Chains A and B, each alone.
Chain A
Amino acid sequence: MLTCRQMTELVTDYLEGRLSWKDRFRFQLHLGTCRHCREYVREMKVAVRALGRLPPVEIPPATMDALMERFRSW
């Protein structure tokens, strides 16, 4: 049985789908029995997805104008 500490070592590879089937099985087995690690993995996923959905930052109009100038003279 993996320990919680080992779970935190494997979580990145788990999220990237890089675990061997054996480690993946052991990982999921632990998840099935440990609510703390379930919470940990859940939070990690939420944080990563939040980072991936940040709205674009507003660009200053002057910057946009300068870039459009480059585009038009391209």
Chain B
Amino acid sequence: MRFLRRATSARDQGTAAQQRAASHQDRALVVRLLARDEAAFVSLVRTEHESLVRLALVFVRNRATAEEVAQDTWSGVLAGLAGFEGRSSLRAWIFQICSNHAMRRSAREARSTPFSALGGPDEPAVDAGRFEADGHWAHPPHAWRADTPEQILERAEAVACIGRVLDELPPAQRAVVLLRDVEGLDAAEACSVLQVSEANQRVLLHRGTLEGPPGAREASWRRVKRC
């Protein structure tokens, strides 16, 4: 589903929080799915299934359960597809169904942890030693040889490593990195999938205060850089 991926790359300059309507590509894909186009379903599943499993793992205990949640999500997608109104992107809509399934499942498992109660990022507080007293870098970022994402991703072991980075981030951070950076949802879409406020989402992505722990984006940058 190449065009789905391409749709995410515009986000670097993305402006804040307006619910993004479904694109023409989204609508065309829905039409194909409703016409029972198997190839369309296969490629959508290929691009999104693992992301659904990862999202489910934020809420449920183990991978087997997350896999069930992801599979049930696809049933939910098919069941609801005729009613897809295109008020959000198709991907955001699918993730919404997944998080609803996962939250219900975790409640049923008596591991009832609403996402907002997962707490903020649990990285260690930012090491004061990173900066001089005057606010200049004490340990500036070492020049990273990678100039482009492609240079990183052409190494299979780096791809695997980044996958592990995602798996190892604390759940709340993982969720926000997954939705914002991996899937390219905008802030408003991520908030509705995770049922958190926009302020909360920003704190997860970044950090609340100068002294606070680094947010998800900084945490993932530090780890990805080691891949």
Contacts and interface: CB of A to CB of B under 8 A. Distances in A.
Interface string B26-58: 000000000010100110011111100000000
B210 A9 contact: yes
A6 B135 contact: yes
B11 interface: yes
Contacts of A23: none
Contacts of A44: 217-218, 221
Interface-centre pick from A13, A51, A70 (highest chain B CB count, 10 A): A51
Interface residues of A, number: 41
Given A36-B141, A57-B163, A4 B135 contact: yes
A13 B205 CA distance: 10
B117 to A, nearest CB: 23
Interface residues of B, number: 63
Interface of B: 5, 8-9, 11-16, 36, 38, 41-42, 45-50, 67, 71, 74-75, 78-79, 130-131, 134-137, 140-141, 143-144, 146-150, 152-153, 159, 162-163, 166, 177, 181-182, 184, 187, 202, 205-207, 210, 215, 217-218, 220-221, 224-225
Interface of A: 3-6, 8-9, 12-13, 15-18, 36-37, 39-40, 43-57, 59, 63-64, 66-68, 70-72, 74
